[in-house]
Amino acid sequence: MRHTFIIGRRVLAQLKGDTRFLVLSVIAPLIIIYFLKLLFDTFPPLVEVKSFTIPISAFIVHFLSFILCAILLVQERTRGTLERMMISGFSKTAIIGGYTLGYFGLATVQAITVLAESIWLFNLNYDTKTVVLLFMVIWLLAIVSVMLGIFISTFAKHEAQVFPFIPLIILPSVFLTGLVISPDGLPVWAQIIGKCLPLHYAVNIIHEIIKPEYKLTDTLVDFGILTGYIFGLLVLASLSLRETE
Amino acid sequence: MYIYFMNAIEIVNLSKNFGKIGALNRMSLDVPEGTIYGLVGPNGSGKTTLIKALVGSLRPNSGFAKVLGLDPLKDKWELRKQIGYMPQSPALYDDLSARDNILFFGKEQNVPDLHQKTDEILSFAELTNRADDAVRTFSGGMKKRVSLCCALVHNPKIIFLDEPTAALDPYLKMLFWILFRKLAQSGVTIFVSTHQMDEAMLCDKVTILRNGEILAVDTPRNILHRGKTKLKIFDNHEEKTAVIDSTSENLADELKKFGLEKNISSVELQPDTIEDIILSIIRKKEKEEKS
């Protein structure tokens, strides 16, 4: 555990040192949500935009956390620091744990700012319990995204090799998880693919939470699956992160 | 004169292939403890591959290696406490300061009085004034110095240095080699790769590599003896040239042929440098392969 904290502290110090990266990670989602508001304002009043707002905000955090974490870990490999860490005695588990811990802070800040802006811009009148639960979903999704980023990074030898994973993971997340189109109308194979993606469960939970008659028990399974993704991806990342060539 | 007690590294028939390319070809060698052991060879000769196999970052296809009596893969946790590794690229965190980079790698190794040790090592590397600046603002030479500090902070018994002086200015290069010698004198084994042939003279023992094969293993002095010396005699302003084997030992015999007469106005000696000799060994092997 000591090694995990050492790496976690180093990742945080590194993030603090890279002001541009830090500002972009927090400011970029806010700007995207602002433009989303401008776009939604052009829709006819009959369109119920409020049901899209929080899921899309969660998706933005999901996408950015995934891509930023994957690229930063690939950079560790190309710069030789990943190999150096391992030769210095840091284990794979400590590296993955440390990275998750480091991004834990960033994911929390992203989840809070994105949620706060969405509620404020779209005049969403949710009670405290709903806001806390929405925060938890976005935050959990951000942690899943970090894990996914770590896992995907093990397949890329340089930064450019991360980009083909964007259409592979992100596009199905947009169209097959219920983010913009209801999955009920999709063919069965598309529904199966959608159910393999973590965003599907996050969107499901969010849709339930914002219903007035929401009960926590309705989403326990989805919460469980989303948490399960964290542990599943942790195991996969540990298996795929190679110590030797 | 060096007295060797035991081997810090033992390599037996070590091979590593990347697809069809043989990076290491049944390589065997022993590295005595407390020496500066040089791996010399052109780019692509297998120097980095060998170092990576010894630090446990690369799995060989066959053969075995022992570092401080330990298997680099099976005993990696025990071994990694005792080795220092400086890769070819600086492998540092650009957004962290020099001090934070050293502290990060030192913390892993549980170095006692880490902060004091970091200050000492920064002072030695002449980086105290820039210790708290981000590494991204450093020149290539300064990054190399920080990288070396990271490899040394935990007082390793053996240090693997992959082309540590590449792209360094002559002054810094000299400082690095003075440090390597000091470390070796304190019992630390230095395993250093270089493609700068002149640096072979600064090692206690040298292995010349080409295409993953060992061409020669010897002391720099013995390698120098493999060279030839060109002797130019100016007799009444007429230039006569003779090539004598080895270095100055054969000079006396050669000069006797000329009798050192009054009309000999000047004698010039052009001994092969270690670079000439290493390159000739490599070229000889290339010719053998072509024929």
**DSSP string of A189-220?**
HHHHHHHTSHHHHHHHHHHHHTSTT--GGGGH
**Count of residues making up chain A:** 245
CB A201 within 8 A of CB A219: no
H or E stretch at B12: strand B7-18
| Token representation of residue A152 | 């995907």
Q: Do A90 and B108 touch (CB under 8 A)?
A: yes
Which of A203, A209, A197 lies closest to A233 in space, CA to CA? A197
Mean pLDDT value across residues A205-230: 88
User: In which residue are the tokens 């697809």 written?
Assistant: B19
pTM for the structure as a whole:
0.81
pLDDT of residue A66: 87
pLDDT tens digits for range A10-57: 888 888 777 888 888 888 888 988 988 888 888 887 777 777 888 888
pLDDT cut 90: percent of chain A above it: 14
pLDDT of residue B261: 63
3 state SS of B179: helix
From A202's Cα to the closest Cα of chain B, the distance in A is: 34
What are the residues whose beta carbons fall under 8 Å from the beta carbon of B135, sequence distance 6 or more?
Answer: B90, B92, B93, B94, B95, B96, B97, B98, B101, B143, B146
Count of C-beta atoms within a 10 Å radius of residue A240: 14
Q: Nearest residue of A to residue B57 by CA position? A: A244
pLDDT of residue B43: 85
Q: Nearest residue of B to residue A15 by CA position? A: B95
| Token representation of residue B18 | 């990347």
Secondary structure of chain A: what % helix, strand, coil (to 5)? 80, 0, 20
**Does residue B191 sit at the A interface (CB-CB below 8 Å)?**
no
Residue A128 pLDDT greater than 80, yes or no? yes
Q: Flag residues of chain B having pLDDT under 70.
A: 1-5, 245-266
Q: Do B80 and A87 touch (CB under 8 A)?
A: yes
| Token representation of residue B141 | 């030479």
Q: Confidence class of residue A227 from pLDDT cuts 50, 70 and 90? A: very high
pLDDT of residue A186: 84
Between β-strands B7-18 and B62-67, what pairing exists: parallel, antiparallel or unpaired?
antiparallel
Q: Do A245 and B55 touch (CB under 8 A)?
A: no
Q: Do A84 and B105 touch (CB under 8 A)?
A: yes
pLDDT of residue B252: 63
The DSSP string of B217-263 is EE-HHHHHHTSEEEEEEEETTEEEEEEEESSGGGHHHHHHHHTT-TT
pLDDT of residue A94: 87
Q: Do A81 and B92 touch (CB under 8 A)?
A: yes
Phi, psi of B232 (to 5 degrees): -115, 120
What are the residues whose beta carbons fall under 8 Å from the beta carbon of A139, sequence distance 6 or more?
Answer: A107, A108, A111
In chain A, domain spans: 2-157+230-240
Count of C-beta atoms within a 10 Å radius of residue B4: 14
**Does residue A6 sit at the B interface (CB-CB below 8 Å)?**
yes
Count of C-beta atoms within a 10 Å radius of residue B209: 27
Q: How far apart are CA A27 and CA A19, in angstroms?
A: 12
pLDDT of residue B130: 93
pLDDT of residue A177: 85
Optimal mutation site among B95, B111, B136, B138, interface A, most CBs of chain A within 10 A: B95
Residue A74 pLDDT greater than 80, yes or no? yes
Q: Nearest residue of A to residue B107 by CA position? A: A6
**Does residue A116 sit at the B interface (CB-CB below 8 Å)?**
no
3 state SS of B85: strand
Show the domains of chain B with their CATH numbers: 7-220 (3.40.50.300), 224-290 (no CATH)
* Mean confidence (pLDDT) of chain A: 86
pLDDT of residue B97: 92
**What torsion, rounded to 10 degrees, do the Cα atoms A146, A148, A154, A159 define?**
-70
pLDDT of residue B247: 54
**What torsion, rounded to 10 degrees, do the Cα atoms A217, A219, A220, A223 define?**
-160
Residue A245 pLDDT greater than 80, yes or no? no
What is the edge-to-edge ordering of all strands in the sheet holding B264-271?
B238-245, B228-235, B264-271
pLDDT of residue A96: 86
